[in-house]
Amino acid sequence: MQTSGQRIVNRLRASLFSSLLRQEVAFFDKTRTGELINRLSSDTALLGRSITENLSDGLRAGAQASIGIGMMFYVSPQLATFVLSVVPPISILAVIYGRYLQKLTKVMQDSLAQTTQLAEESIGNIRTVRAFGKEITEIEKYTSKVDHVMQLARKEAFARAGFFGATGLSGNLIVLSVLYKGGLLMGSAHMTVGELSSFLMYAFWVGLSIGGLSSFYSELMKGLGAGGRLWELLERKPELPFDGVVLNQESFQGTLEFRNVHFAYPARPEVPIFQDFSLSIPSASVTALVGPSGSGKSTVLSLLLRLYDPISGTISLDGHDIRQLNPVWLRSKIGTVSQEPVLFSCSIAENIAYGADDPSSVTAEQIEKVADVANAGAFIRNFPQGFNTVVGEKGVLLSGGQKQRIAIARALLKNPKILLLDEATSALDAENEYLVQEALDRLMEGRTVLIIAHRLSTIKNANTVAVLDQGKITERGRHEELLSKPNGIYRRLMNKQS
Ligand SMILES: Nc1ncnc2c1ncn2[C@@H]1O[C@H](COP(=O)(O)OP(=O)(O)OP(=O)(O)O)[C@@H](O)[C@H]1O
């Protein structure tokens, strides 16, 4: 039972994890990471234990109780009927207790999830916590959450004590009544001493088994309480599909077009981000997207990756609506380098190989080659462990410029037709900036590029500059053309920057 319990927990975890990773990005905008982690670790364990380890005790207790009751009827049907008259009130009590426990467990697991969420956030952001000197505040917040869990646990303990107390008391009362009633039956010569003693033994045995059953029942109810949210997550159908058409590789150009797109984030549907947004991005050319902060530049990239779908209008790739295309295939054709690239807590080599369709088939030479093209080879070789250097959680052991160059190497290995870039706003030192810029220029060669541009040099070199303002492209052209418009938004934007 213990090994099958572990197997069930493992399977539950694997299924839940796979169900979670298939959910659309909007789902993660609304759900907290700590809560999902708690579901994966604690809820699965509780459910697994309640239906396996506990089940063996329950089965044994059930079998013992049934045989014991049978024997009681065999010895004295009259006394057995009398004893079993306590079953209906105890059953009603059990149902009430079970429902309460199920509800309480749900609340308790939610409260535990909030505790995990808080711990995850405080530990994950320890640098910010430390910089603001908020350790004590965070500890107090965590302690108050833990105290809340304790209060709920106390409620559970009281309910448990009440239920087990009531069932235990009824058991004892039954024994006393059996002694009394059995005595009367013996007095009237309807029962022998031997029959009464064996009846008492069976009744005692049944009483013990019912204690075991009650414990099984309460654990089961706890499991069901924890399981409710698990089933919801396991059965949740992702809103964005995983299938669709794959375009012909030979004739694939990589031309992108937004036509009359309206969009608002599902988490904030009342705030429109794009209204009638249109933009075409020709194949093998560089389009620089500029616009004020919060105008929706990063959202354009998210829509192209199909992390969200527009409310209306179309986004097409080579004339095909991307909603018809297989999203996995679509994303395999797109490389991204974001402002602050996220790396995984493994070696540099593994992080670069992550860009390939099949990382296990990537050779060390390939990794070194792309790292050199991305101007990352030299600093990586300077580390004592070279390409095997572990970068820490989210790449915390590397500098911003180093992370960017590794992300560029990762994108180079992917070798995508389309590139979505978000240029870093944070200032790198001159040498780092030059190295990153040179690596980006190499990466952009011959691809369809949409770059959220901040540097003047990138904007000047782009084939087209598109100005995004208030949910629309308001101006489009080359840098000099746009600058020459006397009242243009672009001109104002550039003046502000300089
Ligand atoms: N996941 C999200 N859910 C809800 N609203 C969001 C989400 N992401 C961004 N927003 C909102 O959408 C708007 C556009 O954000 P976006 O990040 O696209 O702007 P941006 O032009 O890239 O800004 P910046 O230049 O400052 O990076 C902002 O008002 C932002 O608050």
Tell me the CATH number at 81: 1.20.1560.10
Please report how many Cα atoms fall inside a 13 Å half-sphere around the Cα of residue 218, on the Cβ side: 20
pLDDT class for 427, splitting at 50, 70, 90? low
Decide if 181 is inside a domain. Answer: yes
Interval between CA 319 and ligand 1 midpoint (Å): 27
Domain count, the chain: 2
User: Across-strand partners of 256?
Assistant: 281, 317
Whether 381 is in the pocket of ligand 1, judged by its Cβ within 6 Å, is no
What pLDDT does 428 receive?
60
What's 421's domain CATH number? 3.40.50.300
Same domain, 173 and 285: no
**260 has pLDDT over 90:** yes
Spatial contact of 267 and 315, defined as CB atoms under 8 Å apart? no
Same domain, 284 and 208: no
CA dihedral (381, 387, 392, 397) in degrees, to 10, reads: 10
What pLDDT does 273 receive?
93
What pLDDT does 426 receive?
56
Decide if 227 is inside a domain. Answer: yes
pLDDT class for 141, splitting at 50, 70, 90? very high
Range of the domain at 260: 256-497
Which tokens is 486 given?
């006397």
Interval between CA 472 and ligand 1 midpoint (Å): 14
Provide the pairing of β-strand 464-469 with 286-290.
Answer: parallel
Same domain, 183 and 226: yes
Among 213, 199, 201, CA closest to 167? 213
What pLDDT does 16 receive?
94
Condensed to tens digits (0 to 9), the pLDDT of residues 24-64 reads 999 999 888 888 998 898 889 888 878 777 788 888 889 99
pLDDT class for 326, splitting at 50, 70, 90? very high
* 198 vs 319: CA distance, rounded Å: 87
What pLDDT does 1 receive?
75
Mean per-residue pLDDT for 109-126?
90
Using only the alpha carbons of the chain, give its radius of gyration: 33
Same domain, 329 and 431: yes
* 148 vs 125: CA distance, rounded Å: 23
Same domain, 220 and 289: no
What pLDDT does 430 receive?
66
Interval between CA 334 and ligand 1 midpoint (Å): 21
Whether 296 is in the pocket of ligand 1, judged by its Cβ within 6 Å, is yes
* 153 vs 347: CA distance, rounded Å: 43
Decide if 249 is inside a domain. Answer: no
Same domain, 204 and 261: no
Whether 295 is in the pocket of ligand 1, judged by its Cβ within 6 Å, is yes
Spatial contact of 350 and 359, defined as CB atoms under 8 Å apart? yes
What pLDDT does 83 receive?
83
Q: Whose CA is nearest to atom 17 of ligand 1?
A: 298
Same domain, 92 and 26: yes
Whether 28 is in the pocket of ligand 1, judged by its Cβ within 6 Å, is no
What pLDDT does 307 receive?
93
Please report how many Cα atoms fall inside a 13 Å half-sphere around the Cα of residue 5, on the Cβ side: 15
Q: Which of 30, 273, 474, 493 to mutate to test the pocket of ligand 1 (most atoms within 8 A of CB)?
A: 273
Mean per-residue pLDDT for 167-193?
84
Which tokens is 446 given?
């011959």
Interval between CA 281 and ligand 1 midpoint (Å): 21
Decide if 244 is inside a domain. Answer: no
The residue among 203, 235, 267 that closes a domain is 235
Provide the pairing of β-strand 334-337 with 464-469.
Answer: unpaired
Spatial contact of 129 and 122, defined as CB atoms under 8 Å apart? yes
Whether 299 is in the pocket of ligand 1, judged by its Cβ within 6 Å, is yes
Judged on CB neighbours under 10 Å (0-12, 13-18, 19+), 418 is buried
Q: What is the pTM assigned to this prediction?
A: 0.80
Decide if 203 is inside a domain. Answer: yes
Mean per-residue pLDDT for 452-467?
86
Same domain, 175 and 285: no
Decide if 243 is inside a domain. Answer: no
Spatial contact of 343 and 394, defined as CB atoms under 8 Å apart? yes
What pLDDT does 354 receive?
92
Residue 274 vs residue 206, higher pLDDT: 274
Among 233, 309, 250, CA closest to 25? 309
For residue 315, give the H/E element and its range: strand 312-317
The residue among 201, 235, 269 that closes a domain is 235
Phi then psi for 476, rounded to 5 degrees?
A: -150, 135
What pLDDT does 351 receive?
93
Decide if 375 is inside a domain. Answer: yes
What pLDDT does 98 receive?
86
pLDDT class for 148, splitting at 50, 70, 90? very high
Whether 470 is in the pocket of ligand 1, judged by its Cβ within 6 Å, is no
Phi then psi for 346, rounded to 5 degrees?
A: -135, -165
Same domain, 275 and 220: no
Whether 398 is in the pocket of ligand 1, judged by its Cβ within 6 Å, is no
Which tokens is 159 given?
């309910």
Cα-based angle 123, 129, 130 (whole degrees, multiple of 5):
105
Same domain, 280 and 421: yes
Spatial contact of 468 and 291, defined as CB atoms under 8 Å apart? yes
Q: Whose CA is nearest to atom 6 of ligand 1?
A: 265
Decide if 247 is inside a domain. Answer: no
**How many residues does this entry show for the chain?**
498
Same domain, 210 and 349: no
Same domain, 356 and 216: no
What pLDDT does 168 receive?
81
Which tokens is 266 given?
């599902």
* 453 vs 445: CA distance, rounded Å: 16
